[in-house]
Structure 1
Amino acid sequence: MASDQYAELCDQIYAQIMGKLENCYKDGTRVARFAPIGTAEEVLNPEILYSFFRSLQLPQIKTKDLNLGLDNLVKRMEERGLYTFLAILIFTSCTIEAARTFTLKLLAPKERPKDSGSLPAEREALTSIFGDPVTPDKILSAQACFCPIVICSKEKDRIESLERECLPYLEQELRGEGAFGTVYRVKIAKGHFYTRKLGSANSNPVDIARKDFRSNEDIELEVMQQILSCKQTCANIVEIYGSLEIGSTGYSIFMPLAISDLRAHMKNDTRPRPSATERTDMILAAAGVAGGLKFLHNGMDMPRGGKLVCYHMDLKPDNILIFLDKVDGHGKPHYIWKISDFGMSRVRYQDDNEVERHERTLTSWFHERPVVPSLAGTYNRRLEGTYLAPESLLPSRSMKAASDVWSLGCITSVLFTYLAEGRTGVSTYQDRRTEHHNANSYDRFFVANTAFGRPKVHPEIKLWHDLLIKKASQQSPEEGQALRSILNYLERNILLLDQQNRCPAEDLEKQLNKTHRAYSELDNTPRERPSAEQHDFRTLLQNIRISGPMGNKKKAASKRADVWFFNPKEAFKDCEISPDGSIIAFWTDFKISLYTQSFRRTEDEELHPVAEFSLNTTGEPRRFWKSISLTSSYLIASLSGNNFQCFVFDLRRDRRTNKKPTINFNHYRSVSIPLPEIKEVAISPGGKTMACIVRDKDKDDNPGSLYIGTVKSPNEWKLGRKLKWPASDVIQLSFSGENDIYIVFRPQRTIQTHKHEIPILHACLATKHMYPLVIEPRGIESSSTVGLFTTLAPFSQRPEICAIVTREKQLHIQSLTELDKATPTIQTSIKNYRVIKLITGQNDEVMFAVGRQVGVHKMLLLEVTMPQEEATDISVKEIAALPNLSHHCEFTARIVSDHDGSHLLLAALLDANECGIYKVRLSGPSSG
């Protein structure tokens, strides 16, 4: 009878423990289960323990050394910390005799036994307790599940093997792989990340970064511990939480999880360039990095006297991590950049007692580590880093603080290229450095001097800087002057061969702060506003003049655009227009705002959104809106992060009533499935189908995948196809009709011919075929910063045919269907104009474009004839001026029709945190 009660109670306890086990995931696959800390204590509560000990029907042993009273047994369970040991016994279905032995030997004695049941246990100790070989075998086979480690901040931890203890990772995702180690994002279970300083553990699962090294060397941790032990701290140096050594097979350090690194951020941003606010913020963040370098170089006070000096030796965009610092009261995120990866660093100690400070090396100069080739530009074929200083080639390798300053100067040069020209400019700048005749195909900021055998500063740097300054000055004399100041400073004070002539990091920090102030003044410069008449939307509608038939002769713009400008409380990052033009969406990292053509206003003449939705950043501050697609009824928004997560909003449905509601965010679904992160998302015009480009689960540089699903059942996928290119290379993902999808990839450079090509895919859902097209532009301007790919527009009536503009002036019209042999390929030039955006008309007989005249920066709406063959001249007509819009602004445009006729609707993010909505009438209402 006792055995039956014992077995029944053990089954109940087993079921409760099973319900609390967590899945341990590795790269999206469950590899084990573990019991989080506190599981045994929670399940084996006093009431359960009283019942358990009663079911054992322990013998009545009367001795002064034993006390089998139930109250004493329950009390000693907590005093001796035996909850987990007993949970393992019950979970492994040990016999009632084993349970009695546990009670009599480990709980009943008044004095704590020598073999007190500590975990993880050794076989010898278990055998001495139970006396039989079976029970120890069961405990040893399961104890790792109940012994997940607790990572202690600022401490070194070590475990013998994963057969004895397990890792408390709810998720694990590869983030990057370099020469010295591999970085993962890991989600630590509740209670398994302990901060000794605060005396508490995490109350919710927390994401942190784990860097695994290929050997058990702890050089990076050694360096960081020395830096963190100093009296001063610096917010721009990444923190090291602690380390973990697993036997002789692995060594890891733990760090805060960054949103991204600077290289990935610049590479993944598909916009022409960052917004004005982002440019200002990034310059300030770069000044913070220079301050971090100053902190490392200037000497950190040691607790026992003397100073610590650190030379990083491997500063590059990959090692500058971007973190979310805070979100202000307006919902605007503020970011901070931190220097990371000290595996190549040189740390020295300066003795204050000596008249002349003597530096003593605390770490070896360059550590012999295996080098893994990478496409990230970390190392070239000769293992000479892109951002390393020229002295790195010298036999003596006399690299000190000035070498770090050179590296940061190179990074600053690339950063301002990105701020001016986006990622396309960064890629072009890299190509120009690599393809120089003295570069020998190596990407560096210096070249070999063939005459004297010594390096010299790369000639392309000066040429490139001058080109950026000239272009910026044409757009804005003030911005041109600010850019000239910082780029000339780099040339005169940092990118110098002689280390002695380079300025210290402190001076570069001051110059970047000065540049930040100059850009801030640009953002705050008052802009000329349209007149009161232009502000009145209805008056403007009445003043539209419809032009006559288009002629071949260029004419000045004959219409005025209806414009509404507004300044949101926080700067938007992008915008989208629904296919019918009824909804316009603007969004920040954390908020989506919807506007309609009704342009709801208040007495203060400000434009206000009709609906808003904000992310809850509590607990998950690192997630933000990644990509958004919009129809008249649905909005799909993907989230950044580690896995596939998006929101599907039904904008015209209301849970509370069956009446037709206003546009709202009341009804939505959050979709999470076991796939990697979404890079781009799109929805078909009718709102039936959604498409997602998903990154590779192992590495961002590996080919991504295209997934197709239905909006009403987004968890069910109809198609999943592997692509040939990384998801981060996708420039554009868009639907043309319900069954046709276009994907444009970042221009690629062929290995054989070194030519640049634009890969384009047309996915036809009706046939489930993908049709690839590679555009090789003609007449490449090697001296221009204009991006290779400009815009793509599918035809309305024949979506398998598309028009592409490259270099802002070359027009390509081509069918992407292999079976279509009748459609000729057309390649011609658009003379006298630079086209930024191309939109095809509804009848495919005319195209509209947003562009400008050559040498003029005023943006225009243009009407472009459809060429019938390559020899056909293209006629361009100016339709309307678009005030305050410049070619580097982020904007979206659609041709829409309503009862008033057809018109172009354009939404834009302008300079100085201003937004604009433009409407230009193209044709009047149809008769009848």
Structure 2
Amino acid sequence: MASETFDNLCNQVYWQLYNRLERKDDPNLRFATNGTAEKVLHNDLLIRLFQSLLVANNTAVQQFGLAEEELAERVDDRELHDFLAVLLFASCGIEAARRFTKKLVARNDWPLKGRFTGQDTHRLPASREDLLHLFKDSVIVDKFCSSQACFSTVVIHNRQEVVVESLSSQRLPYLEEEELGSGSFGKVFKVKIAKGHFKDTRHGTLNATSMDVARKDYITTTQFDGQDERNMMERILTGSTRKCENILGNFGSLRIGTNSYSLFMPCAICDLSDYMTKYHPTRPSSVHEKAKIVLSAKGLAEGLDFLHNEMKGPDQQDMVCYHMDLKPSNILIFRDTAYDGGIRYVWKLSDFGMARVKYRSRGQTVEREEMDFNSAFLQRIKPEAERSPSGTRNRRGEGTYLPPESLTSTRTMTTASDVWSLGCVLSVVFAYLEDGGEGVENYQLRRLRHADSDGYDRFFVRGRRFTPNKDHPEVHKTHTWLINKAAQRQAEEMHAVHFMLRYLENRVLVLDYRKRDGVKTVKEKLAQTYTYFKSMPPVENHLTGEHHTWIDRTRSRGTPLSHWQVDSWQLSSTEGLKGCEISPRGDLVAYWSDNQIRLYNELSLPPQVTFGEPPVVSPAAEYTLGLTDCIWKSVAVTDRFLIASTTGAVFQCYVYDLVFIRQYRITLQLPEISRLAISPDSRIMACVMQSKEEGQECGSVFIVPIEELIQEAPRQMTPSTQGSSGTESEGSLSRRGLPHDSTTLKLDWSASDITYISFPTPDEVYLIVQPQITARSRENEIPIIHLSLKTRPRLLQTVLVRSQGVDPGNTVGLFTAFTAFRQQQSTCAFIAREKQLYIQNLAYPGTTAIENSIKNYRVLKLVMDWNDRKIFALGTPSGTNRVYLLEMTVPQSEVDRVTVTELVSLPDLSQDDEFTQVLSSNSFQQGGDYILIAALTNASRRWIYRISLPDSSAAT
């Protein structure tokens, strides 16, 4: 009878333990978190268990020498829960449980040391030899060993090394695992460490919640000797005499067996390369924002200065670390709170897989090498060029940012080599300051395609046939262009840009490494440049010195003055905005930065204005991202919902119900969202996601009803009482499955190749793919995807675009603008290279698009009228930067010529600005059709324009 009771208890314990395991669906990954066994094997169950072990007519005192309650207390005092949990979970039987009670619980001598290992027998993982000595039964030992890994979960120790002999006896504490990329000597993953499995060794505490960290995995060589190497890496990553915030920190290390080694580090938002080209490609729009970026760059120089000049050896001798692989993708970005309470970004040096450490005698040059990381780790991949928008890479994997001396046979690499790489990074950063992500990409293409580059993207030109290396002509040419662009805005900015870029050319990007300045001087020059930017006055009007009133009536050609009215509202902000969106009906405008979304509607307008002064509007609501390890990535808005996704260490989707003032933070088991859109009727969300299948990266489109997305939320986020969300509050939805009515469609391109997604109608989705280079030397192609939500067919039409005298290999800026027809389903119009209009019917694959050249204008944006008879456009006449609202006819065939009419000029806008627009029939203050425009200007101001249309302009 006792045996039957014991078996029943075993079954109960098994299922309670199993249901609490993490990743339990995978037998090779499932694990119990710290405290799981204690929760299941509580005091009452332990008493019942010991009662079930009693032989008939025996008491616990007679059989074990202690009462049941005393035995239960011993289990607590001796921390035997995990060992007992393995016995019960593995169904080792009643005799094994009795022997456990007698040998480990009831005995007074404690702890029990293993005869073969000398370790505490009850500590997991237990050795097979000690278990055999304890249980005297190989079958019991086999069962125990097959299950103990689940309850022997590794605990990572901060800034210490943890050694695991084999994953057959222990499990890793990862709730989730995602590959982020590969470095020179390892792969990088983002992992979520379970609660209770990261120990702060300084305070002796365990993490109270799960935490995201970056893990870099190495393959070690026979020269790798463990503790000494880890200590050296710790010295490099965290410093010796002081902590440098610009060096990536070390969260500890893990060695598994003899050839697997991992470092744990803080999870960054992204790297500098991705930030400039993917996550914040919008050009900095104010000198204040540019100053903050220069300040971050100065911090980068401080990190390199720490490696070169501040490190100390164990005997306080000077040490120097050569990074050897400094480039934007090895510079990680973190967000922090500035001294004034605002937001600041900290750039941290990472990826020391190519680094070398040497001792330096005081007052002398480098004497002897202490350690070479290259000999400690197997190199997974060769150093590569930076990621390129067109997929270009250097031949043989030569690094874009490496100095000329890296190509010599002797490889005379010194601290000056790192300074060269730093100068290259700074040159690219200044291209970003002027022209955003497009500036970075164009700069790269110009270096790569220069006649003397020979197909290599470097910052110098390699000599041929025994001729010396030369300065790269495109570097000086680009610097001159950047200086001239700054001069067009104000003399102070021109002076700052000229000061830094010419210094880089003359003292940093110098072919002879012996003539380069040290990093301390570079840091000083960046500090001076930051001072210049910080003291600059804001640029109030980057077009002319004219002053425009808040209502500016201009006359189009042949149009009476009274037909047109332009209302404009100024948004003053020093924060670096990165995007803007307008709801389909034109009721709401959303602007966002990395960490804040501001929403504007009719409540944002001031009650009255002073004539001659542009009214400044205030946001009706603000949504602040409280997390510091991610940033806003994509935003979409309708009159009902505002949806935003994050990127960085944390990927989540935020849904703000603007009608019922409800807010949800949703975690989906999906890859990260790249772009998203909402249907005009606020029913459906469509987003482009990055996914990985069979080692090949491809994108997908995820379509889901919004109500279904949020209906199972256990609780909503607390809304603000003032109609604004304020800082993010608690409450989230963690979805382990996907909504029933959701659809995922695989694409043939990566998510980064999808440059545009929109809902022109509630039942249609359009996607534009990054222009492709064709085999034909004078043509490019632009893939357009049309999805019908009613029938779900996928219509793909590839439109060939002739080069028009432009290098066909350069696809940057090829696709300019897009609009769908409103009455003709599957028909769209788009602009290529700002000059060519294409009309394409996607319902008939293989048909040729109607193509027209636009004379005397550069077209930047399109919006179709209600009846598909005309297209409203934003563009600039030849010879001017001023933006006009244009009216274009819709050609019906190749013989029809498109005509363009200037309707109204838009004050304070130029062709370099970024803007979006919609056509609406519901005005903020009055009826009638109007076009609403939201603009990100190159000055310190942003604008919302409303252009009221004459009755005959939008409808016929």
TM-score, scaled relative to structure 2: 0.86
Do the aligned residues in 1 keep the contact of 2:395 with 2:455 (CA within 8 Å)? Answer: no
Q: Which residue of 2 aligns with 1:802?
A: 828
Residue 841 (str. 1) matches residue 841 (str. 2): no
Counterpart residue identity of residue 34, structure 2: I
More displaced, 413-422 or 237-246? Answer: 413-422
Post-superposition Cα deviations, 1:628-659, rounded to whole Å, max 9, x if no partner, equal 2222223322232578742333322x3xxxxx
Q: Which residue of 2 aligns with 1:237?
A: 247
Change in Cα spacing, 1:812 to 1:697, as seen in structure 2 (3 Å) is same
1:890 to 914, 932, 938: 914
User: 1:902 & 1:544 partners in 2: Cα distance?
Assistant: 17
Counterpart residue identity of residue 94, structure 2: I
Q: Which residue of 2 aligns with 1:474?
A: 488
Q: Which residue of 1 aligns with 2:410?
A: 396
Q: Which residue of 1 aligns with 2:927?
A: 900
Do the aligned residues in 1 keep the contact of 2:865 with 2:872 (CA within 8 Å)? Answer: yes
1:347 to 353, 357, 369: 357
Do the aligned residues in 1 keep the contact of 2:184 with 2:354 (CA within 8 Å)? Answer: no
Q: Which residue of 2 aligns with 1:125?
A: 130
Residue 187 (str. 1) matches residue 192 (str. 2): yes
Q: Which residue of 2 aligns with 1:659?
A: none
User: 1:921 & 1:329 partners in 2: Cα distance?
Assistant: 42
User: 1:232 & 1:720 partners in 2: Cα distance?
Assistant: 50
User: 2:655 & 2:763 partners in 1: Cα distance?
Assistant: 20
Residue 686 (str. 1) matches residue 681 (str. 2): yes
More displaced, 260-269 or 182-191? Answer: 260-269
Change in Cα spacing, 1:508 to 1:869, as seen in structure 2 (3 Å) is farther
More displaced, 598-607 or 582-591? Answer: 598-607
Residue 335 (str. 1) matches residue 345 (str. 2): yes
User: 1:454 & 1:628 partners in 2: Cα distance?
Assistant: 51
Counterpart residue identity of residue 107, structure 1: V
Do the aligned residues in 1 keep the contact of 2:29 with 2:172 (CA within 8 Å)? Answer: no
Post-superposition Cα deviations, 1:860-908, rounded to whole Å, max 9, x if no partner, equal 3222333455565544333333223333333221111137321111122
Q: Which residue of 1 aligns with 2:690?
A: 695
Counterpart residue identity of residue 75, structure 2: M
Q: Which residue of 2 aligns with 1:284?
A: 295
Do the aligned residues in 1 keep the contact of 2:556 with 2:902 (CA within 8 Å)? Answer: no
Q: Which residue of 2 aligns with 1:770?
A: 795
2:368 to 360, 363, 368: 360
User: 2:538 & 2:690 partners in 1: Cα distance?
Assistant: 39
Counterpart residue identity of residue 127, structure 1: L
Do the aligned residues in 2 keep the contact of 1:786 with 1:808 (CA within 8 Å)? Answer: no
Q: Which residue of 2 aligns with 1:411?
A: 425
1:640 to 637, 647, 665: 647
Do the aligned residues in 2 keep the contact of 1:786 with 1:807 (CA within 8 Å)? Answer: no
Q: Which residue of 1 aligns with 2:753?
A: 729
Q: Which residue of 2 aligns with 1:817?
A: 843
1:739 Cα deviation after fit: 2.8
Match runs of 1:518-597 below 5 Å? 518-522=532-536, 524-525=538-539, 534-535=549-550, 540=551, 559-568=564-573, 570-597=575-602
Residue 386 (str. 1) matches residue 386 (str. 2): no
Extract unaligned runs of 5+ from structure 1. 655-665
Partner secondary structure for residue 647 of structure 1: strand
Percent identity over the alignment is 39
Residue 628 (str. 1) matches residue 642 (str. 2): no
Do the aligned residues in 1 keep the contact of 2:65 with 2:106 (CA within 8 Å)? Answer: yes
Do the aligned residues in 2 keep the contact of 1:269 with 1:422 (CA within 8 Å)? Answer: no
2:442 to 428, 451, 457: 428
1:52 Cα deviation after fit: 2.5
Counterpart residue identity of residue 95, structure 2: E
Q: Which residue of 1 aligns with 2:498?
A: 484
Do the aligned residues in 1 keep the contact of 2:780 with 2:803 (CA within 8 Å)? Answer: no
Q: Which residue of 2 aligns with 1:196?
A: 201
Q: Which residue of 1 aligns with 2:950?
A: 923
Do the aligned residues in 2 keep the contact of 1:130 with 1:136 (CA within 8 Å)? Answer: yes
Do the aligned residues in 2 keep the contact of 1:151 with 1:194 (CA within 8 Å)? Answer: yes
Q: Which residue of 2 aligns with 1:9?
A: 9
User: 2:13 & 2:906 partners in 1: Cα distance?
Assistant: 72
Change in Cα spacing, 1:86 to 1:491, as seen in structure 2 (3 Å) is same
1:101 Cα deviation after fit: 0.6
2:513 to 489, 492, 499: 499
Do the aligned residues in 1 keep the contact of 2:175 with 2:191 (CA within 8 Å)? Answer: yes
Partner secondary structure for residue 409 of structure 2: coil
2:37 to 36, 40, 46: 40
Match runs of 1:842-861 below 5 Å? 842-861=866-885
1:602 Cα deviation after fit: 6.0
Partner secondary structure for residue 34 of structure 1: coil
Residue 260 (str. 1) matches residue 270 (str. 2): yes
Q: Which residue of 2 aligns with 1:662?
A: none
Q: Which residue of 2 aligns with 1:225?
A: 234
1:212 Cα deviation after fit: 1.0
1:223 Cα deviation after fit: 4.3
Do the aligned residues in 2 keep the contact of 1:643 with 1:675 (CA within 8 Å)? Answer: no
Change in Cα spacing, 1:840 to 1:487, as seen in structure 2 (3 Å) is farther
Counterpart residue identity of residue 464, structure 1: T
1:205 to 196, 201, 210: 210
User: 2:298 & 2:769 partners in 1: Cα distance?
Assistant: 33
User: 1:632 & 1:233 partners in 2: Cα distance?
Assistant: 49
Report the number of matched residues: 894
Change in Cα spacing, 1:916 to 1:748, as seen in structure 2 (3 Å) is same
TM-score, scaled relative to structure 1: 0.88
Residue 103 (str. 1) matches residue 101 (str. 2): yes
Partner secondary structure for residue 111 of structure 1: coil
Partner secondary structure for residue 593 of structure 1: strand
Q: Which residue of 2 aligns with 1:650?
A: 657
User: 2:412 & 2:256 partners in 1: Cα distance?
Assistant: 36
Partner secondary structure for residue 318 of structure 1: helix
Q: What is the root-mean-square deviation of aligned Cα atoms in Å?
A: 3.5
Extract unaligned runs of 5+ from structure 2. 115-120, 610-614, 710-738
Change in Cα spacing, 1:756 to 1:321, as seen in structure 2 (3 Å) is farther
1:293 Cα deviation after fit: 0.9
Do the aligned residues in 1 keep the contact of 2:416 with 2:517 (CA within 8 Å)? Answer: yes
Residue 84 (str. 1) matches residue 70 (str. 2): no
User: 1:270 & 1:468 partners in 2: Cα distance?
Assistant: 20
User: 1:110 & 1:392 partners in 2: Cα distance?
Assistant: 68
1:826 to 848, 851, 866: 851
User: 1:775 & 1:519 partners in 2: Cα distance?
Assistant: 44
Partner secondary structure for residue 749 of structure 2: strand
1:50 to 23, 39, 47: 47
Post-superposition Cα deviations, 1:558-614, rounded to whole Å, max 9, x if no partner, equal 845211113258554322111111122223334433222354436897533333444
Do the aligned residues in 2 keep the contact of 1:560 with 1:881 (CA within 8 Å)? Answer: no
Counterpart residue identity of residue 235, structure 2: Q
User: 1:531 & 1:599 partners in 2: Cα distance?
Assistant: 26
Change in Cα spacing, 1:203 to 1:752, as seen in structure 2 (3 Å) is farther
Do the aligned residues in 2 keep the contact of 1:835 with 1:852 (CA within 8 Å)? Answer: yes
Partner secondary structure for residue 263 of structure 1: helix
Partner secondary structure for residue 708 of structure 2: coil
More displaced, 870-879 or 428-437? Answer: 870-879
